[in-house]
Amino acid sequence: MELNTTIPENILKHLHYVAKSFGLGQDEETIQMLADSWEEKLEAFESKMIELGMDEVGSFETDDERGALALTYSGSLLSISPLNEGVRKIDYTSIGLRKDVPESLTNENCTLKGDMEVEKSIEIEGGSIKRTSQIFKIVAAPLSLNPDEQEELIDEAKTMIIDTFVDMNKDLY
């Protein structure tokens, strides 16, 4: 299969899996559509993070005080609030094509089971989401912001990205 895409091979393999598990076609046109959408979402994610002054990190420790956002291989978004008395609020937003997970969930009083790392799944305790697909990118709020400012920044970034993703998903139908 000769796709016109620049996304990494591991993401492409994941998109093949995603297409099959979502009940989508396995044809080249469907995979190309998913790949194009994924590339657009990555571009939106990266440009919004740069615009908002967030820091891309390869890993994010469980006891890191900052808030963060994570983009999964399947194009879902996790927003993770700053640490507050040992717990976090975690919002999960799916890519919109999935039928096997809710479109979005908010869980209060959660903890990360382990450090978040690019190329690994996130495991979460205390919420309805237990595990995500592998993480492609992680961005964290700047250390210069206080927890309330970080929360605002994470919420703003999440809203901007979700709005962009929703518009992109409309084009897939």
Provide the percentage of residues in the chain whose pLDDT is more than 70: 89
Interatomic CA distance for residues 81 and 37, integer angstroms: 27
Residue with the two structure tokens 């615009």: 51
pLDDT at 114: 94
The string of pLDDT tens digits covering residues 11-24 is: 888 888 878 877 77
Strand partners of residue 125: 111
**Per-residue pLDDT at 172 exceeds 50:** yes
Q: What average pLDDT does range 51-60 have in this prediction?
A: 93
Q: Enumerate the domain spans of the chain.
A: 1-173
What pLDDT does residue 98 have? 47
* Residue range 84-104: mean pLDDT, rounded: 74
Report helix, strand and coil shares of the chain as percent, to nearest 5. Answer: 35, 25, 40
Q: Indicate whether 61 pLDDT > 60.
A: yes
- Residue 9 pLDDT exceeds 70: yes
Average pLDDT of the segment spanning 72-99: 83
pTM score, whole prediction: 0.83
d(CA 10, CA 159): 27
For 168, half-sphere exposure in the C-beta direction (CA atoms, 13 angstrom radius) is: 24
